[in-house]
Structure 1
């Protein structure tokens, strides 16, 4: 660093931990760690020498279906771009490349773009990365990106490296052990990190390379089971480390294990060579699963009992695309945060290409009660410096944003908006074989796969896998009948207001964004405002009722009394449909447990025995569940599909283990057994 740079560099105390300054033009430097992000003279050559050559790439990924690289510090993404370019230029490459990396302090989109200016040969890859990189702050958690038409997946774990890798269930084939040097960031180079890397490695073994030969790295890797070798370092560095983790001694037919907790009842079935998948249900969940599997090369068939797709709740003309954010780090909030960011990226790209009818006009979450005000205050306290995600509004500011007078303040979500769900279902199901007016009554598990039978006794299949993605009817199949105690139908009726009721021609009044209160009202689409909705548990009928219009008007009156006063239930039109919720308000996403075998295998788990004493999760072979989204289908079904497609095709998972446990269908059985509410 020059004397001039030293004088202009803020002290460590003056800088936020993730802040950077620029050296020598476009070289990012971290004052917090006192180091540059890469070799300023030839960072790309060092990446190729240390991480690609050190892991025997490209040879290591040749002749395999999937290859997964794990990394401990994403930084500018230089290693990712170099690996992508190497893979792209290799005619014998794997079919897909997965890159899973951790970053505690992610750079902004503009910073990522600037950091890549030094490498014009990577420009094509950098442009594609910048295209999917979020414009807003990246919150802690797992962020999944799809590139190169799905051939490349980038999974970013935002947070502390040790915590993130300890919570992530991986099958990593090779490791890029990168990050700021041990002398600059000793907290990362800890024994628990190396143990986490070993646990996340593929059962067939893994390779590893790192730029350092520091003793803390050598000792830590050896203690975790890696076999260490030294290699000449890059440039002026004398040595660097390469390592291998021997293949696991576990049997090859063992299920894919979670390692965060001693909980074999949540282990995933061993993935097979899945080529054909049947999906029961043609709503958002089913269409999302079909699209995610199609991208992975699977042949999919949707079976829908109605005469059209998006017939139930997915058929509403407008749905809110609103984040579900919480003031704490609770499981539900973390899951729906991950779901929203994944859905938003997918839907935005489809809308930008004209495939989906949507508007990202923002959503105002109105504080219409003291309880709601307290929740939003807690949220703002958590996201105080992240107005690009959630911006606090006074009543006056909210009125200006909305376009009509409001008596309450709240929070504005600038990236949110509304979506026409049927157009999303159509976009996701394009090119998918679809069988309408086909009600499936049974799944027969055979040696050759699963065979479906409809109400007319016509059979289909065999299929390598089946996803049950219906709504309340999901409980009717033999494999899922036990769900009857955990699924609840919820009737919801929306109401329509002609646009001219709110805005008379020439008066300038208009609704410019979605308003979320106890209900919601959206800007006009095709001359009509949608508002609602009722929420009646246990009611399975879908007739449109004048009384429900009255309830919607009464709900709207709290936020927009002048508008509500103009409305009469008897003249309103609307639509009613069923949502399906679960008893703990989280969806069911994962393999279908074999009820009887679960009870037999885990009948005494209330005794506190260690999980190692039990067998892996006994599930119905090739049968998966995807249901229970309630009113949050828009922000949950795309990530649910990504989870299931990753489980079925044995690819890196888009969520951490804690959340995967929380949505696993077997959770209800496990809780019941532990509480002695279910007995064999």
Structure 2
């Protein structure tokens, strides 16, 4: 951003204001953003790019530092306009010897809008190709607090943006950062950021192999803070007229052998992730949404992936429904489930939109109208609107008349509208994700074995596949049939769901047209027509694993539809309807299961007395089945959960920065059920 003593333009200079989701910024000297809140420009209008290259690129010995690396990760404390990111990306791309992938993890409390960011980049035409790619994927919607993952450079570059306070965000993130761009408004302008807690968080998020750091500031509070946190600090000539700047190094942490029984000073070692070498070949068991997303995420990281599907084709279970809603799951508070699925929706939205724009999948972002069908639902919607009152790009309140006009048919009540939501064809999504990936269909895997060369898979007909560096189990309830995951049998709940099809002509004959303009959600849902059919439903029957079409389920769907559209329901006969039934898999806490496969018996041996409330520091690191991972339990939210889950697992397997903060990673960790059971004495060693 800016140096302590870069002069700002005088107050008499003309400027114009722009209101963004971050508040108000103003513009000076044409396209230079200025923050009235901090009283400073984001960068020098004359030499901001040159300063970035001098302070951060050269100050961290780039590009030399990333030579010969598989992955290289840069951490930053103030994203601002993204100038440092663009400069680092350009330097990385132009370097003749560089890491295979570049990861950039940054914090921003007040993200700029897309238009403001693009405007701010115009001053540097040499960065235009990078700015365009960033602008193309930058959300037009509000970025809520949390972590947002963006994929650029044909998959070779990832940007992980932490929205929120720098100290809070970095304190809750495990980053494995190789070098730091310690940037932000200067200590004199933003003293709340340059705090001992930030320097400690930076150390905790640094790579175990050590890290370097560079910053424009040479203020005493920065020098002392870095030294107290463990950095070795050096002064360097500052950029242009600045006298000094700081560079620093952090020594490597003491290595620890795999499977070591040493005690670790962490609060919850049972959630510590295994240390992985970069996998080159991965087997994915399951060819639905979760498996396809995992395969795609790994392929984008250069892995050779093979999918194993027990059915005759991919996307043949719940992922085979012709239309699925892609709808945000907001909560009125800061609940874990809401935070996970908010992040999941944002990630899926970007991915699906990109594929749809390229003509690779069927998807329409027509919005989802959610009716307030009960007092309880109205109360929930009121809470959402109170929390997101300033974000009409995410959610809008609608009266009955407004809702009717939005939907295209008269509806009996108002509700809320999600303008960035819509529908997607799950089979087309799975096909796009798996295009070019090797698949074995009609292949039921019954065993995962170990050899000196890696993991092997055995099928029900005795065939052996492999070896592989890692295996992801991404099936449904059959996940618990494998020895490594058999303990999950009581945690994975089958839920039968049946959808029904309504011919478009039924509605057009009743209303004179069938101009349904968006997805409608009530105690069920109905979609715009696709291939002459509206999809409506669906049933939710727990612990029912049959997939036969049932007239009773059609009757239920018609009855639910009749509460909103009685005329349509009266025109439908449940016995003559077509539809589709499939199984979803959910969990008791309604969160998916994502992460390394715990060794159940070893967990019981390692943590037998968790119910005593003893501190985590006395326990060993989590014991896992080596190189085996789980991805399941999404229920009806696979479209907004599975792509993010795949990004999590691919990042874990390939030793890359994670796309979620630690609290959410722990919440979806497979071992949570074991830990919870031990603490509640529901499981005993």
Q: TM-score, normalised by structure 2?
A: 0.97
State how far apart, in whole Å, the 2-side matches of 1:252 and 1:647 are: 18
Q: Distance in 1 between matches of 2:332 and 2:520?
A: 20
Residue 208 (structure 2) pairs with residue 213 (structure 1): no
Aligned to 1:160: 165
Given the alignment of the two structures, is residue 304 of structure 1 paired with residue 309 of structure 2, yes or no? yes
The SS at the match of 1:220 is helix
Q: Do residues 432 (structure 1) and 421 (structure 2) align?
A: no
Counterparts of 2:238 and 2:497 in 1: how far apart (Å)? Answer: 64
| Separation (CA, whole Å) in 2 of partners of 1:86 and 1:252 | 35
- Aligned match of 1:582 in 581, 584, 587? 587
Name which of structure 1's ranges 150-159 and 507-516 shifts more when overlaid on structure 2: 507-516
Measure the CA separation in 1 of the matches of 2:377 and 2:35.
40
For 1:509 and 1:279, locate their aligned partners in 2 and report how far apart those are by CA, in whole Å.
Answer: 42
Matches of 2:488 and 2:361, distance apart in 1: 33
- Matches of 1:85 and 1:536 in 2, distance apart? 53
Matches within 5 A, 1:202-601: 202-251=207-256, 253=258, 262-504=267-509, 507-601=512-606
Q: Name the SS for the 1:153 alignment partner.
A: strand
CA distance in 2, matches of 1:297, 1:268: 22
Q: Is the 8 A contact 2:507 2:513 kept in 1?
A: no
Residues 314 and 616 (structure 1), Cα distance of their counterparts in 2 relative to 1, 3 Å cut: same
2:610 and 2:459 map into 1 onto residues whose CA distance is 38
| Deviation sequence 1:284-308 (CA, Å, 0-9, x none) | 0000000000011111110000000
Tell me how far 1:251 sits from its aligned partner.
Answer: 2.0
Deviation per CA, 1:217-246: give whole Å up to 9, x if none. 111111110010001111221111100000
Secondary structure at the aligned position of 2:270 is classed as helix
Please report how far the alpha carbon of residue 518 of structure 1 lies from its aligned counterpart in structure 2 after TM superposition: 1.2
C-alpha contact 2:266 2:617 (8 A) present in aligned 1: no
- 2:608 aligned to 603, 606, 630, which one? 603
Q: 1:8 to 1:146 in 2, by over 3 A?
A: closer
Confirm or deny that 1:82 pairs with 2:87: yes
Consecutive unaligned residues in structure 2, runs of 5 or more:
1-7
Q: Structure 1 residues 281-290 or 406-415, which shifts more?
A: 406-415
Separation in 2 of the partners of 1:568 and 1:308?
31
Which structure 2 residues correspond to residues 22-41 of structure 1 after superposition, within 5 A? Answer: 22-41=27-46
Partner residue in 2 for 1:49: 54
Distance in 2 between the 1:48 and 1:567 partners?
67
Query: How much does 1:385 deviate?
Result: 1.0
**Residue segments in structure 1 that go unaligned for 5+ positions in a row:** none
Q: CA deviation at 1:3?
A: 5.4
Contact 1:491/1:541 (<8 A) preserved: yes
Q: Are the equivalent residues in 1 in contact too, given 2:505–2:514 (CA < 8 A)?
A: no
1:253 offset after TM fit, Å?
3.8
1:570, distance to aligned residue in structure 2 (A): 1.1
Cα distance change, pair 234–260 in 1 and its aligned pair in 2 (3 A)? farther
Q: Is the 8 Å Cα contact of residues 167 and 260 (structure 1) preserved in structure 2?
A: no
What is the CA–CA distance in structure 1 between the aligned matches of 2:20 and 2:132, rounded to whole Å?
A: 29
Q: 1:473 to 1:325 in 2, by over 3 A?
A: same
* 8 Å contact kept, 1:451–1:460: yes
Matched residues in 1 for 2:511 and 2:172: separation? 57
Instruction: Give the alignment partner of residue 95 of structure 1, picking from 87, 100, 109.
Output: 100
Q: Give per-residue Cα distances to partners, 1:263-314, cap 9 Å, x unaligned.
A: 1111111112311111110000000000000011111110000000001000
SS at match of 1:361: coil
Deviations 1:605-653 (A, max 9, x none): 2222221211111000110000000000000000000000000000010
TM-score normalised by length of structure 1: 0.97
Aligned residues: 676
The alignment yields a C-alpha RMSD, in angstroms, of 1.8
Residues 395 and 418, structure 2, Cα contact 8 Å, conserved in 1: yes
Q: Which runs of 4+ in 1 moved over 4 A?
A: 1-4, 6-10, 14-17
Structure 2 partner of 1:126: 131
- Counterpart Cα distance in 2 of 1:45 and 1:398: 52
2:24 partner SS: coil
1:550 to 1:119, Cα distance in 2 relative to 1, 3 A: same
